[in-house]
Amino acid sequence: MSRPILVSLLGSKEIGKDLAKKGTSSDITLYNRVQGDLAFTYIEPTQFPEKFPPLLVSLAIGRQVILAVDTVGRDLAEAIVTADLAGKTEGLLALAPSVGEEDVRRILKGTRLEKVPAVPLDPKAITSVVEGWASPSADGEAAVPVDHIFPVKGVGTVALGVVKSGTVKVHDRLRLYPSERSVEVRSIQVHDVDVPEASAGSRVGLALKGVEAEEVSRGEVLAPNDTLRVADTVEISGYASCRFFKGKAGEGDHVHLSVGLQVVPAKIQQVDGDRLTLSSDRPLVVLPGDRGFVLQLSGTGTGPRVAGAGIVH
């Protein structure tokens, strides 16, 4: 099986189609290409900046980040600070001829991505760097966050997602977290090819038995029973505030909380230094190492919509 490389593609909405074949498209667009022993998946937050959650979904799926810059402005700054809060350390700066590198480096200064290499905004130049990037580890129990779901005639319910950890196999019995619904994996496709199993990093289509498409939402996670935590109160440790956020997330504030591919209304119950306790309006599924983002989505649009982030417990 090809070695997967998962990339959050931020900035230009034109370069994706030159890097790979357009696949599933909604508020995010996935571009896929298999080349030799490599399988590239680029995740573009197509409806960002109009909507903020697509950016978080792209960053949650991707391992590395490409900043494809054809213009410098507030939207680029918001994407950069959010990628930093997401803990991204490996990436690439791809610059259009009209963009000065120093202008972008000023925004990157102080972030985990400030020293990423720069190349022209050109598919060959980008691919030459990306093909050397690492793939996700397959350690741990199988876990597949669902990013799209739909019915297929003659097949049934099909869930699309990227295997976050472990290996998923045909005939596996999995729980659809955070519900207690049990499903069976009838078949697996990776890049339109039927396979008996798929490991971490693989972009999969899972035909499921035991659930209808309308019963599944983005952000639910397929995993073996009793392997993941479900909670409606979570703690965020190592919380770091967004340096450009024009407010302060304090006790009693009503916010939105993003964990994995889930975005839900929540309330900040307690702030203790760099530890926040929040209650959400519905149960969340939490994977090991998930980052929690505190969001203000009803602002005036004069600053970033992310207040800060940390590790969820």
How far is it, in rounded angstroms, from Cα 171 to Cα 208? Answer: 9
Q: Answer yes or no: is pLDDT of 246 > 70.
A: yes
61: CB partners within 8 A, 6+ apart? 6, 8, 41, 43, 145, 147, 162, 261
Weakest-pLDDT range from 90-99, 131-140, 170-179, 204-213:
131-140
**Residue matched to tokens 């760099």:** 274
Classify domain 144-223 at the CATH topology level: Elongation Factor Tu (Ef-tu); domain 3 (2.40.30)
36: CB partners within 8 A, 6+ apart? 2
Percent of the chain with pLDDT over 70: 98
How confident is the model over 71-98, as a mean pLDDT? 96
Give SS3 for 205: strand
How confident is the model over 48-62, as a mean pLDDT? 97
Phi-psi region of 12 (alpha: psi -120 to 50; beta: other; left: phi over 0): beta
Q: Which two tokens stand for residue 98?
A: 């009209």
What tens digit of pLDDT does each residue of 252-289 get? 999 999 999 999 999 999 999 999 999 999 999 999 89
Residue-level pLDDT at 117: 97
Q: Which two tokens stand for residue 11?
A: 């900035």
Q: Answer yes or no: is pLDDT of 208 > 70.
A: yes
Weakest-pLDDT range from 53-57, 77-81, 213-217, 296-300:
296-300
Q: How far is CA 240 from CA 19, 166, 231, 233, in A?
A: 34, 30, 22, 19
The interaxial angle of helices 74-85 and 101-108, nearest 10 deg, is 40
Q: Answer yes or no: is pLDDT of 301 > 70.
A: no
How far is it, in rounded angstroms, from Cα 230 to Cα 75? Answer: 33
Whether residue 257 contacts residue 292, with contact meaning beta carbons closer than 8 Å, is answered with yes
What secondary structure does DSSP assign to 77-130, as a single string? HHHHHHHHHTT---EEEEE-TTS-HHHHHHHHTTSTTTT--EEES-HHHHHHHH
Intervals of CATH 3.40.50.300 along the chain: 3-130
How confident is the model over 195-218, as a mean pLDDT? 96
Closest to 169 in 3D by CA, of 215, 219, 223: 223
Q: Answer yes or no: is pLDDT of 243 > 90.
A: no
Q: Answer yes or no: is pLDDT of 1 > 90.
A: no
Whether residue 205 contacts residue 189, with contact meaning beta carbons closer than 8 Å, is answered with yes
How far is it, in rounded angstroms, from Cα 301 to Cα 306? Answer: 11
Regarding beta strands 156-162 and 144-152, do their DSSP bridges make them parallel or antiparallel, or are they unpaired? antiparallel
Q: Which two tokens stand for residue 71?
A: 């213009």
Q: Answer yes or no: is pLDDT of 299 > 90.
A: no
Q: Answer yes or no: is pLDDT of 55 > 90.
A: yes
The interaxial angle of helices 53-61 and 74-85, nearest 10 deg, is 40
Torsion of CA 308, 309, 310, 311, to 10 degrees: 160
When pLDDT is cut at 50, 70 and 90, the band that residue 114 belongs to is very high
**Which amino acid appears at position 114 of this protein?**
E
Closest to 4 in 3D by CA, of 43, 39, 42: 39
Residue-level pLDDT at 244: 86
How far is it, in rounded angstroms, from Cα 99 to Cα 90? Answer: 21
Classify domain 229-312 at the CATH topology level: Elongation Factor Tu (Ef-tu); domain 3 (2.40.30)
- Residue 123: count of CB within 10 angstroms of its CB: 16
Residue-level pLDDT at 247: 79
How confident is the model over 8-30, as a mean pLDDT? 97
Superfamily name and number for 3-130: P-loop containing nucleotide triphosphate hydrolases (3.40.50.300)
What tens digit of pLDDT does each residue of 32-47 get? 999 999 999 999 999 9
Burial of 204 (0-12, 13-18, 19+ CB in 10 A): buried
Residue-level pLDDT at 205: 97
Intervals of CATH 2.40.30.10 along the chain: 144-223, 229-312
How far is it, in rounded angstroms, from Cα 20 to Cα 30? Answer: 9
How confident is the model over 147-152, as a mean pLDDT? 96
Percent of the chain with pLDDT over 90: 91
Mean pLDDT across the chain, nearest whole number?
95
When pLDDT is cut at 50, 70 and 90, the band that residue 300 belongs to is low
